[in-house]
Amino acid sequence: MTGPEVSLSFRLVYVPGVMPDKWVRVWNERQPDVPLNLTQAPAQPAHGMLLDGEADAGLVRLPVDRTVLSAIPLYTEQTVVVVPKDHLVTAADSVTVEDLADDIVLHPLDDVLDWETLPGRPALERPATTADAIELVAAGIGVLVVPLSLARLHHRKDLTHRPLEDAPASSVGLAWPEAATTDLVEDFIGIVRGRTVNSTRGRRPQPAQEQQAKQGRNRSAQGDAPRRRQPSAGASGRGRRGTGGGAGGGTAKNPRRGKPRRRS
């Protein structure tokens, strides 16, 4: 009697606003026997899931703790300000931080932007989440500065957004525990980097592959060794002239050839 089969899967956590659809599609094509389990989590809990071993890799917001996590930067998002559709800044194509000096700029507790100095005027209380802050913007309480993906995630018909210049930006990257760089992690790294299915970069060869590679190197070394040419039959007589009817000789010269005969 055998025990229950263990289902092999790849666990990927991703933060709100990040859409891993294209990478999920490629994974399912290349790894049909390995399910991809997706979990969405806010930025800090996503980091915690990686550290606690609850996820194999994560599409997270940078930076991460590089002493325990490896990370590959993927892209940097544009920062925008979310405002009601009748706000004055909607008359411009883009906005500067100084343009928000008279506005209440909401600063949710899950903000992902690293501000040195917050723009505008502070609210009396910080909203718990970005979703709560969006509701306050819709109520006319203030404006909200977020990465573009979060503005799209929380899109409402009564709100719009404009690019915000001179503001900090948020970068997204692929992170995983440095001590747990498995072959499945390497496969997902290859997918997000756009490697082809035949690429083996980053994958360590299996023992059978190592043995085949070693045998191939040995055959190559033997094939490169210089070979001593053996003399062919009759080679000793080649090039000699006037030796008689040998294989390479020809006939001897007649010493009387060309001299006229005397008549008696």
pLDDT one-digit tens code per residue, 198-209:
765 545 444 444
pLDDT one-digit tens code per residue, 114-130:
999 999 999 999 999 99
The answer to whether the bond into 63 is cis (omega within 30° of 0) is: yes
pTM of the model: 0.72
Residue 223 has a pLDDT of 53
pLDDT one-digit tens code per residue, 233-264:
544 444 444 444 444 444 444 545 555 555 54
Q: Which has the higher per-residue pLDDT, 157 or 248?
A: 157
